[in-house]
Amino acid sequence: MKDEKKKFTTTSDIEIKELYLPQDEFNYDEKLGNPGEYPFTRGIYPTMYRGRLWTMRQYAGFGTSRETNLRYKYLLSQGQTGLSVAFDLPTQIGYDSDDEIAQSEVGKVGVSISTIDDMDELFDGIPLNEISTSMTINSTATILLAMYVAVAEKRGIDRKVLRGTVQNDILKEYIARGTYIFPPEPSLRLTGDLIEWCAKEIPKWNGISISGYHIREAGSNAVQEVAFTLLDGIEYVKLLINRGLDVDFFAKGLSFFFASHNNFFEEIAKFRASRRMWAKIMKEKFKAKNPESMMLRFHTQTGGVTLTSIEPMNNIIRVTLQALAAVLGGTQSLHTNSFDEALSLPTEESVRIALRTQQIIAYESGVTDSVDPLGGSYFIESMTNEIEKRAFEIIDRIENMGGMKKAILLGIPQNEILESAYKYQKEVEEGERIIVGKNKFRVEEDKEIKRFKVNEKVLQERVEKLEYFRKNRDFNETSTSLKILKENAKTDANLMPYILDAVKKKATLGEIIKELKDVFGEYDVNITL
């Protein structure tokens, strides 16, 4: 039997031709256009990195706020240009670090934050009016941002000059990640409260980072990552418009977060397609008039699930390719994973190498000299068109059945991601997809890598600190602020001002969440959207 000719495809099953010709490039009516012009295929700014490099923002957090503060200062001293906060699981799901249910996870996968004093210590000696800060936090985003604002104002900094992003993307928690607390409707209310409040009170702050990263890490392919992320974005725009807000008032505060994986050209095309698609959605579906409302501004993180614990030094090459794809795709902000993250939290040495990877791309590779070095490539433009076509097919299908909220209720995106993850893993295990050092070219013995260990006394330190904090506050003042918050949670009021007041009156994260749970309840998988 004659062997079939090998078929070359991307991770999204897009077939790759042997050769691309001019007629493969333009499949749409609109011209490719220029950078900084609708539909922003070639970049959202006219000069891109010739005018300003992307923000180099290494995601970091572990143990106590004091320990993490030292890591931030180290990264800044090494040339990092923005901060990105990783919070531990108790902080993410609303438990103080002295809560019995939280104790085994305190400080393990991020920094432990329960109070305004913790937040103050986290940013000790760091000028909040000068630095841009990103916080990967969702269910408790309102509280953590309130703490950040309260610390800034305590230092005499006007909240209107604060720059940064809070993730605040609750829909993807129900799809892919799982750090939800409340049922979907009150969760969406809090998401909307934060975005609206930021648009009014902190105009330089992004009130949401609509995250495809976790969708991709859960097993989606590149096309699904684009489609499901933009569908989540559509739901948030609908939410805010239904509140009576004009789309051009809040849209420039919407940002996005994508993964960058190993299929180099597919990833570049994915970023270009996402940018063009969002511009069309905002202009045609939501009738935005301000070009800034149509710009898809995004942060990128290299692919965590692509890292291997076997031959971990190979991860440096993987991260470099992924970072380069993000840069050529036009990212505004970038985190590069450390080579040892499949083994432990990164060491100081490995995170420095990760940062140096960005710096070498920025200053030595020459890829930032041209505004859009790959624009007009027959291959890239054809791939961009194909990703756009396939992603819009998913978006249209989901929108026609009632939108992303309904689809999540029916488990549609979850199941499609699972199917994609199963297909990928099957290909790896059967050797159809080669992972160097894992299923091919593997050495018998691997070099021992030094692993980072979180301070074993972190729990004891956190418990003692919280005990001191509670003893040295005005209990009546704290209780009153919590009571006011709870009463307003029963109304349609925006809760951000009341959460900010409670934080300033020294209510802890866990205490605030407890009051909201009394009103909203906790999420049960059987509750409908």
pLDDT at 24: 65
- The strands making up 132-136's β-sheet, listed across from edge to edge, are 205-206, 163-166, 132-136, 82-86, 55-60, 333-335, 298-302, 254-260, 208-211
Rounded to an integer, what distance in angstroms lies between the CA atom of residue 250 and that of residue 132?
20
Evaluate if residue 402 carries a pLDDT over 70: yes
CB atoms inside a 10 Å sphere around CB 77: 8
| Strand bridging mode 82-86 / 163-166 | unpaired
Instruction: Give the confidence band of 455 by pLDDT, cuts at 50, 70, 90.
Output: confident
pLDDT of 4 above 80: no
Assign 37 to helix, strand or coil.
coil
Q: Around Cβ 476, how many Cβ atoms within 10 Å?
A: 9
Separation between Cα atoms, residue 506 and residue 235, nearest integer Å: 34
DSSP H helical segments within 54-100, as ranges? 65-77, 89-92
What does the pLDDT read at residue 1?
41
Determine the structural domain holding residue 299 and report its residue range.
22-28+53-368+375-429
Domain assignment present for 407:
yes
Instruction: Kindly report, residue by residue over 438-447, the tens digit of the pLDDT.
Output: 989 988 766 7
Closest CA to 261 of 404, 89, 433: 433
Assess whether pLDDT exceeds 60 at residue 29: no
The reply to whether 452 falls in a domain is: no
Q: Which of helix, strand or coil describes residue 403?
A: coil
- pLDDT reading at 425 higher than 60: yes
Neighbours of 92 (CB within 10 A): 26
- Name, in order, each residue with C-beta under 8 angstroms of 36's C-beta and a sequence gap of 6 or more: 43, 44, 45, 46, 47
- Render pLDDT for 223-243 as a digit per residue (tens, 0 to 9): 999 999 999 999 999 999 999
Distance CA 127, CA 122 (A): 12
- Pick from 10-24, 158-172, 187-201, 409-423: least confident: 10-24
Q: Is residue 519 part of a domain?
A: no
Structural tokens at position 439: 């299923």
How many domains does the chain contain in total? 1
Structure tokens at 516: 């909201």
Given a contact cutoff of 8 angstroms between Cβ atoms, the answer to whether 224 and 10 are in contact is no
Q: Residues 363-401: pLDDT tens digits?
A: 999 999 999 999 989 999 999 999 999 999 999 999 999
The two three-digit tokens of residue 391, written as one number: 């992603």
pLDDT at 26 exceeding the cut of 60: no
Coil, strand or helix at 519: helix
Q: So what's the pLDDT on residue 485?
A: 98
Query: Is the predicted pLDDT of residue 361 greater than 80, yes or no?
Result: yes
Task: Provide the pLDDT confidence category of residue 529 given band limits of 50, 70 and 90.
Answer: very low
Across 235-254, average pLDDT:
98
* Average of per-residue pLDDT values in the chain: 94
pTM (predicted TM-score): 0.95
Examine residue 417 and state whether it is found in any structural domain, yes or no.
Answer: yes
CA gap 332, 214 in Å, rounded: 18
Q: Which of the pair, 416 or 526, is modelled with greater confidence?
A: 416
**What 3-state DSSP class applies to 206?**
strand
pLDDT of residue 278: 98
Residue 186 scores a pLDDT above 70: yes
What is the pLDDT averaged over residues 460-477? 96
The strand pairing partners of 301, in sequence order, are 259, 335
Burial of 456: CB neighbours in 10 Å, binned 0-12, 13-18, 19+:
exposed
Pair type for strands 254-260 and 298-302: parallel
**Phi then psi dihedrals of residue 502, to 5 deg:** -65, -40
Count CB neighbours of 309 within 10 A. 15
Nearest-angstrom CA–CA distance, 333 and 273: 18
Q: In sequence order, what are the residues at sequence separation of 6 or more whose Cβ sits closer than 8 angstroms to the Cβ of residue 41? A: 32, 33, 272, 275, 276, 375, 384
**CATH number of the CATH domain containing 194:** 3.20.20.240
Three-class secondary structure assignment of 360-401: HHHHCCCCCCCCCCCCCCHHHHHHHHHHHHHHHHHHHHHHHC
